[in-house]
Amino acid sequence: MHPEKLPHIILRIGVAIAFLYPPYAALGDPISWFSYFPNFIKALPIPEAVLLHGFGLLEVIIALWILSGKRIFIPSALATAMLAAIVVFNLSGFDVLFRDIAIAAMPLSLAVGAYREERAHWTRST
Amino acid sequence: MGKTISILVIVVIVILGGWYFYSAGHNLKQQEIPQTSSSNATTSPSETSTSSGDVTVTYTDAGFSPSTVTIQAGQSVTWVDQRSGPMWVASDPHPVHTGYDGTSRSQHCAAGYTGATPFDECGGGTSYTFTFDKVGTWGYHDHISDSASGTVIVTPVTQ
């Protein structure tokens, strides 16, 4: 393994952990995790379980995609946006959720790096 | 390009930080105005006080009202749910509820728990009363919808 790849792998593993644990934990404690959804989402005519576990499925897809390391700009950007949204819509819990801002720096870093690589690929392919 | 991005990031952090500290300072000022709940005291618009000194907080779609209450140690707060769904009042932080007595929700809501009565409804309901014996400022939230939150300020008993 090229030594320069190790930090990138560590970042991806960290983001994956942050996105694999919530859907797993939500299976056992859906009330706690569903409470993080903003009210305008809860007001949608969609069953809570569908919203919660559907969002969890999205988190799993993002985690696995980032873990793969292949063309990860999209999932990294999504991960950044999702973490930022969790903080914004749960400001009353900022004393705990401030950590999500720090965690969001990881997928943001991956997204910035991936953008540079993938833009070069898009440029070559056009 | 790199310098521009660095400056942009710093500006965003400063703006977010300034907004956060402004919000935190505003909330702190509300918590630093303790008021007695005796019958001769003027009741502030942020409190509801009965003749016994106990307080009632109503929970509507707009949140808890009043959002901040002040009582003396040994007095109670009753939360009344006026929304369509159940509420679950519990101590901050979500979701572990350890703020009031240090025990977690999985501990103090477990069947057979023999410790002190927790500041935790331990389930959905439409009314909940808790007697505060500990002096301090206690944040709480609705566990089912943790964006709804409030504060109970407990002051020492005045003779």
Mutate to test the interface with A, among B31, B147, B149 (most CBs of A within 10 A): B147
Residue A73: HSE in the Cβ half-sphere, 13 Å Cα cutoff: 12
Taking the Cβ of residue A88 and every Cβ of chain B, the question of whether any pair is shorter than 8 Å is answered with no
Nearest CA in chain A to B91: A93
Note the Cα A34 to chain centre separation in Å.
16
* Signed CA dihedral, A39, A45, A46, A47: sign only: positive
Please report the pLDDT score of residue B35 as a whole number. Answer: 27
Please report the pLDDT score of residue B36 as a whole number. Answer: 26
Nearest Cα neighbor of A36 from A106, A88, A77 is: A88
- Which of these ranges, A49-58, A72-81, B26-35, has the smallest mean pLDDT? B26-35
B→A contacts (Cβ < 8 Å), by residue, are: 20, 23, 88, 92-95, 141-149
Please report the pLDDT score of residue B110 as a whole number. Answer: 94
Mutate to test the interface with B, among A21, A29, A32, A89 (most CBs of B within 10 A): A32
Percent of chain A with pLDDT over 90: 75
Q: How far is CA A39 from CA A22, A98, B67, B77, B131, in A?
A: 19, 20, 18, 26, 30
Note the Cα B73 to chain centre separation in Å.
16
pLDDT tens-digit readout, A82-122: 999 999 988 878 888 899 999 999 999 999 999 988 887 77
Please report the pLDDT score of residue B49 as a whole number. Answer: 45
Please report the pLDDT score of residue A125 as a whole number. Answer: 63
Q: A92 vs B149: CB contact, 8 Å cut-off?
A: yes
Taking the Cβ of residue A92 and every Cβ of chain B, the question of whether any pair is shorter than 8 Å is answered with yes
Q: What is the mean pLDDT of chain A?
A: 91
> CA-CA distance, A88 to A103, in Å (whole number)?
14
Please report the pLDDT score of residue A29 as a whole number. Answer: 92
Q: Measure CB to CB from residue A31 to each of B143, B147, B149 and give the nearest one.
A: B143
Write the ipTM. Answer: 0.73
Instruction: Read off the tokens for B12.
Output: 């965003």
Please report the pLDDT score of residue B154 as a whole number. Answer: 96
Q: Measure CB to CB from residue B145 to each of A39, A91, A96 and give the nearest one.
A: A39
Which residues from B are below 8 Å from A29, CB to CB? Answer: 95
Task: Give me the tens of pLDDT residue by residue for chain B, a chain 159 residues long.
Answer: 566 766 676 777 677 666 655 554 444 433 332 222 333 333 333 454 443 568 999 999 999 999 999 999 999 999 999 998 899 999 999 999 999 999 999 999 999 999 999 999 999 999 999 999 999 999 999 999 888 999 999 999 986
Q: Measure CB to CB from residue B146 to each of A29, A92, A95 and give the nearest one.
A: A92
Please report the pLDDT score of residue B28 as a whole number. Answer: 40
Taking the Cβ of residue A42 and every Cβ of chain B, the question of whether any pair is shorter than 8 Å is answered with yes
Q: Measure CB to CB from residue A35 to each of B92, B93, B143 and give the nearest one.
A: B143
Q: Which helix (H) or strand (E) holds B68?
A: strand B68-72
Q: A92 vs B141: CB contact, 8 Å cut-off?
A: yes
